[in-house]
Amino acid sequence: MSTDEDLLARVADRARAGETPLPPAVSAADVAASEAALGFALPPLLAALYREVANGGFGPEYTLLPLVGPTRTVVSAYHAERSASAEEEAPFWPEGVVPVLEWGCGMYAAVDCRSETAAVLLFEPNAVGDDWAAAWFVDDVSLARWLETWVAGTGWYQEDADQEDADQEDADQDEGAGELRPWELAASRIAG
């Protein structure tokens, strides 16, 4: 079993252990149609999540958006953000970065489809002023690691962390670890 196959199996187990029934997975044709609508390919692991686990409805906190369907999807959210960005004097949404999870208050987890590792980015637009590049952070250097964090229950978004974990996190933050890093490519990718 490959590393991605093992990770997908563990993600599926965690997803199925949730309280809400999962929607059916999508077909390869659905992935191809989504990629055609986006104008670029999804990273293989992201496509496999939708093909082999479910059409969204699992993952950290608010759960992954569906890839296809009648509601807000990865594809429709991407096009909405790109369109809104194009209308602004200062664009804010880079090409090739798909929103996969809405955190609320305008915040997204997004996957950089141009990154070899499918980096997961955090878009946090609140209180950034006119510098939209300052709204982008690296949540994790790869989608695989981001999923591993969710499966392990150790993500920054975990509400049920015990006090010992909180104390360790405080110590880590004192040393500069565990903080979100600005996405260094944000300004160039937004402009390009």
What is the structure's pLDDT at 1? 60
**Between 78 and 62, whose confidence is greater?**
78
Confidence of residue 164 (pLDDT cuts 50, 70, 90): very low
pLDDT of 40 reads 98
Q: Confidence band (pLDDT; 50, 70, 90) for 159?
A: low
Residue appearing with tokens 């006090």: 163
Euclidean distance between the first and final Cα of the chain, in Å? 39
Q: Which two tokens stand for residue 86?
A: 């194009």
For residue range 20-56, list pLDDT tens digits in order.
899 999 999 999 999 999 999 999 999 999 999 999 9
The answer, yes or no, to whether residue 177 has pLDDT greater than 70, is no
- 50 exposure class (CB count in 10 Å sphere: 0-12, 13-18, 19+): buried
Q: Which two tokens stand for residue 134?
A: 């300052």
pLDDT digits (tens, 9 = 90+) for 113-156: 999 999 999 999 997 877 899 999 999 999 999 999 999 999 88
The mean predicted confidence, pLDDT, of the chain is 89
Identify the pLDDT of residue 173: 40
Q: Do residues 49 and 10 lie in contact, with contact meaning Cβ atoms separated by under 8 Å? A: no
pLDDT band at residue 157 using 50, 70 and 90 as cut-offs: confident
Residue 169 has pLDDT above 70, yes or no: no
What are the domain boundaries of the chain?
3-191
- Contact by Cβ (8 Å): 53, 26: no
Mean pLDDT calculated for residue range 69-94? 95
| Residue spans of alpha helices (H) in the chain | 3-16, 28-38, 44-52, 74-87, 143-152, 163-174, 186-191
Give the architecture-level CATH label for domain 3-191.
3-Layer(aba) Sandwich (3.40)
Residue 132's identity, in one-letter code, is W
Output the six-digit token pair for 122: 């955090």
- Is residue 168 over pLDDT 60? no
Question: What is the rounded distance in angstroms from the CA atom of residue 34 to the CA atom of residue 78?
Answer: 11
